[in-house]
């Protein structure tokens, strides 16, 4: 992408979306019909923070107004309009409707203004029920978000970042939250950050459920604060002809065997596809020696340190 791809209304339709996902030049990388991408939590830390807070057991950041607002929202969850009307109260953010492309609009966005640019940090989409209409609540906002970022005015930010964005998709009383990020010129990673969550109240005994839902929205509220700080701290220096650091995962340090912290920078992927979790990197000069070493960085979900040492 990096400012070259725009969204089309037809592409977001469920049938067309499935056809396009079979195209090797496809833009969106997630777990359907095409190679998967690295975890989006490795692309930007705001997504890992959201997942950690939303699934944890720490309730200290839950305040009474939030819990009360979530409880009220759950009572109205089956009514889409009522649900979206209460989201600004729960997240303490202003939502506005945005026309992305012709006939393609996000149900609402939360945006921040930086340097005369409106940066969407949340894009929302809703349908009445699963299967209603031509669009899925999880596919159309992917294109709405793409079109918002593809505007010429956004190019400096696209060149300087991976454009992390949250997507809230609802259908009836069900809700899910996805992460959206750009990783290369024609690659966008979109992944669910949580299971589809029931927002309704099915019994008179829903206290635990209310707190679980409130924890998700508290995590999202905190992540929006972190995301705004991230965007406001960007150094906008366009580098359109080089690969942006935002195209690589965000971790850039590791702890060496002697306990010292080593900084490194990524050079390239070691596999030529979006599913690559292995990268060539080099250490950053430090100290008097100024030695630079080439290293291989691989992201894994489990690691056997003892087995690794046996191969040295």
- pLDDT per position as a tens digit, 256-302: 878 888 899 988 888 877 777 888 999 987 765 677 889 999 888 77
Same-domain status, 223 and 257? no
Q: Is 177 helix (H, G, I), strand (E, B) or coil?
A: strand
Work out the pLDDT band at 57, boundaries 50, 70, 90. Answer: confident
Same-domain status, 283 and 201? no
Residue 24 contacts residue 31 (beta carbons within 8 Å): no
Q: What is the pLDDT of residues 31-49, one digit of tens each?
A: 455 557 788 999 999 999 9
Give the C-alpha separation, 164 to 227, whole Å: 8
Give the C-alpha separation, 83 to 219, whole Å: 18
pLDDT computed for residue 78 by the predictor: 64
Structural domain includes residue 245:
no
pLDDT computed for residue 272 by the predictor: 75
Same-domain status, 157 and 189? yes
Work out the pLDDT band at 77, boundaries 50, 70, 90. Answer: confident
pLDDT computed for residue 139 by the predictor: 79
Same-domain status, 65 and 138? yes
Q: What is the pLDDT of residues 225-266, one digit of tens each?
A: 999 999 999 887 655 555 556 678 888 898 887 888 889 998
DSSP state for residue 135 in the 8-state scheme: B
The torsion defined by the Cα of 72, 75, 77 and 80, in degrees rounded to 10, comes to -80
pLDDT computed for residue 51 by the predictor: 96
Structural domain includes residue 126:
yes
Structural domain includes residue 271:
yes
Q: Is the pLDDT of residue 131 over 50?
A: yes
Q: Is 213 exposed, middle or buried (0-12, 13-18, 19+ CB in 10 A)?
A: buried
Q: Is the pLDDT of residue 223 over 80?
A: yes
| Domain range for 52 | 10-232
Structural domain includes residue 282:
yes
Same-domain status, 206 and 262? no
Structural domain includes residue 243:
no
Q: What is the pLDDT of residues 144-153, one digit of tens each?
A: 888 888 888 8
Residue 283 contacts residue 267 (beta carbons within 8 Å): no
Residue 124 contacts residue 167 (beta carbons within 8 Å): yes
**Which residue reads 């960007």 in tokens?**
234
Residue 25 contacts residue 13 (beta carbons within 8 Å): no
Among residues 205, 232, 259, the one where a domain terminates is 232
Same-domain status, 16 and 142? yes
Give the C-alpha separation, 252 to 264, whole Å: 5
Residue 193 contacts residue 177 (beta carbons within 8 Å): yes
Taking alpha carbons only, the member of 41, 44, 43 closest to residue 52 is: 41
Among residues 177, 202, 232, the one where a domain terminates is 232
Query: CA quadruple 73, 79, 83, 85: dihedral positive or negative?
Result: negative
Same-domain status, 206 and 264? no
Per the structure, how many domains does the chain have? 2
Q: Is 131 exposed, middle or buried (0-12, 13-18, 19+ CB in 10 A)?
A: exposed
Structural domain includes residue 244:
no
Same-domain status, 191 and 80? yes
Same-domain status, 166 and 295? no
Same-domain status, 285 and 208? no
Backbone angles phi, psi at 265, to 5 degrees: -130, 145
Q: Is the pLDDT of residue 142 over 90?
A: no
Structural domain includes residue 2:
no
- Percentage of the residues of the chain whose pLDDT score is greater than 70: 71
Mean pLDDT of the chain: 78
Same-domain status, 183 and 292? no
Same-domain status, 214 and 143? yes
What are the CB-based long-range contacts (under 8 Å, 24+) for 261-269? 262/286, 264/295, 264/297, 266/297, 268/243
Among residues 202, 232, 262, the one where a domain terminates is 232
């Amino acid at each position: 992408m990096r400012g070259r791809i725009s969204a089309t209304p037809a592409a977001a339709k469920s049938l067309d979306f499935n056809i396009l996902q079979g195209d090797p030049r496809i833009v969106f990388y997630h777990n359907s019909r095409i190679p998967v991408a690295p975890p989006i939590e490795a692309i930007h830390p705001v997504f890992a923070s959201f997942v950690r807070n939303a699934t944890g057991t720490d309730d200290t950041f839950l305040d009474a107004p939030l819990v009360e607002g979530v409880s009220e929202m759950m009572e109205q969850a089956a009514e889409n309009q009522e649900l979206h009307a209460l989201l600004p109260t729960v997240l303490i953010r202003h939502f506005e409707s945005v026309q992305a492309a012709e006939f393609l609009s996000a149900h609402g966005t939360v945006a921040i203004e930086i340097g005369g640019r409106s940066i969407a940090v949340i894009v929302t989409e809703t349908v009445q029920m699963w299967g209603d209409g031509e669009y899925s609540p999880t596919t159309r906002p992917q294109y709405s978000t793409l079109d918002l970022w593809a505007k010429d005015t956004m190019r400096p930010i696209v060149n300087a970042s991976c454009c992390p964005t949250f997507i809230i998709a609802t259908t009836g009383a069900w809700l899910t939250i996805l992460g959206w990020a750009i990783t290369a010129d024609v690659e966008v990673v979109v992944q669910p950050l949580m299971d589809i969550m029931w927002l309704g109240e099915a019994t008179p005994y829903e206290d635990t459920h209310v707190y679980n839902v409130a924890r998700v929205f508290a995590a999202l509220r905190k992540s929006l604060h972190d995301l705004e700080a991230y965007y406001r701290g960007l150094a906008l220096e366009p580098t359109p002809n080089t690969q942006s650091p935002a195209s690589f995962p965000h971790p850039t340090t590791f702890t060496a065997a002697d306990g010292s912290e080593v900084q490194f920078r990524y050079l390239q992927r070691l596999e030529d596809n979006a599913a690559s979790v292995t990268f060539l990197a080099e250490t950053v000069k430090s100290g008097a020696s100024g030695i630079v070493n080439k290293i291989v960085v691989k992201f894994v979900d489990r690691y056997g340190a003892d087995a690794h040492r046996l191969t040295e």
